[in-house]
Amino acid sequence: MIGGAAYLILAVLLSGGIAFYLFNERARDMAEIDRRLSTIVVSGGRTVRHAIPVSVPGMFAPLLAQAQVEITTPTLRMLGGVAIALALLSLLLAGPVITLALIALVPMLALAALRHRARKRTDALIAALPHYIDSVRQLQAVGNSLSQALERALADAPDAVQSYFAPVARRLEMGAPVGDTMQQFAERLRIPEISMLAAAIRTNLRFGGSLSTVLRNLAQILRDRQNIKRELAAATSEAKVSSRVLIAMPIIAMIILVVPNPAYITFFTQDPRGQTQIMIALILQGCGILVLRRLMRLNF
């Protein structure tokens, strides 16, 4: 029964991939002229083509922006082809149950890696943001406009700030309004600290007041938030280690049982009862990981 359901799900996935490709052909044909106009750059008699990022669902767009990852059409095609080839190879070599488990596991691992990359990069940005705000405040105090201060402060800013704020600097160079540019930047990243900076700038531009004082207070608030985060990390480190041990224990126990007796795993791969048990175990393990991660998540 498990095998039949797995074959059915694999067939639906393959059919969905083929249907997506066929329906996407018409959209690509209609957008061919626009892509050529936007991707062809004439330089020294040569034409250089640049890949255009693919639009992604709204729930994943902030995560990709935080991780500074762009998914282009060639990359998406390559990943889709590799995924289908690996799924068919796993189906031939390991059977439908293992293939179905891999189809469910690989996206989860990819999402976890993407979140880890985003968290690492945004932490570096948030840590360097107070210094950048202080530089903007000092440049504005000596006579620079707000847009000039935002641009010129990037010269001495850390790499994390430069990489994230580079699109902001380009828009400001083209004459875009500072408030709208910062608001779009905050909506794209959806990082609380960036939203606070954008809200402070928009509020000051709309109602007036001393922007230098606002930026000084904001920089101090961000430093206080960093200190609180470090204290929380130190206070919850023991609980995090315990959760990781609980997550790893079933996997380690399975490895200890299988290594001295390889035939032990055949019950779970060939017998229908074992297949049912391994699917239930994987589902319960995944639910346990999600619950532990939710318990350890601290927002303030």
Digit-coded pLDDT (tens) for 139-170: 998 989 999 999 999 988 999 999 999 999 99
Give 165's Cβ-side CA count (13 Å radius). 30
d(Cα 47, Cα 246) in Å, to the nearest integer?
56
Question: What is the average pLDDT across 176-192?
Answer: 92
Domain ranges of the chain: 123-235, 237-300
Could you tell me which residue, 89 or 185, shows the higher pLDDT? Answer: 185
> How do residues 262-275 score in pLDDT, each as one tens digit?
777 777 777 888 87
With cut-offs at 50, 70 and 90, classify the pLDDT of residue 276.
confident
Could you tell me which residue, 147 or 53, shows the higher pLDDT? Answer: 147
Q: H or E segment at 237?
A: helix 237-258
- Which residues neighbour 222 within 8 Å (Cβ) at sequence distance 6 or greater? 126, 129, 130, 133, 193, 196
Decide if pLDDT at 136 tops 90: yes
User: 44: alpha, beta or left, given left = phi > 0 and alpha = psi -120 to 50?
Assistant: left
d(Cα 162, Cα 154) in Å, to the nearest integer?
6
Tokens representing 218 are 């904001």
**Residue % of the chain over a pLDDT of 90:** 29
Decide if pLDDT at 41 tops 50: no
pLDDT at 22: 60
Q: What values do phi and psi take at 48, rounded to 5?
A: -115, 125
d(Cα 292, Cα 236) in Å, to the nearest integer?
13
Decide if pLDDT at 17 tops 60: yes
* CA angle centred on 162, ends 221 and 63, rounded to 5°: 75
Most confident region among 38-52, 53-67, 124-138 by mean pLDDT: 124-138
Decide if pLDDT at 38 tops 60: no
pLDDT at 8: 63
Per DSSP, 49 falls in state E
* CA angle centred on 121, ends 77 and 292, rounded to 5°: 90
Question: What is the average pLDDT across 135-139?
Answer: 93
| pTM for the whole structure | 0.70
Q: What values do phi and psi take at 43, rounded to 5?
A: -145, 110
pLDDT at 7: 60
Question: What is the average pLDDT across 56-73?
Answer: 80
d(Cα 283, Cα 205) in Å, to the nearest integer?
52
Give 131's Cβ-side CA count (13 Å radius). 14
Q: What values do phi and psi take at 38, rounded to 5?
A: -90, -15
Alpha helices in 142-210 (DSSP H): 146-152, 159-173, 178-189, 192-207
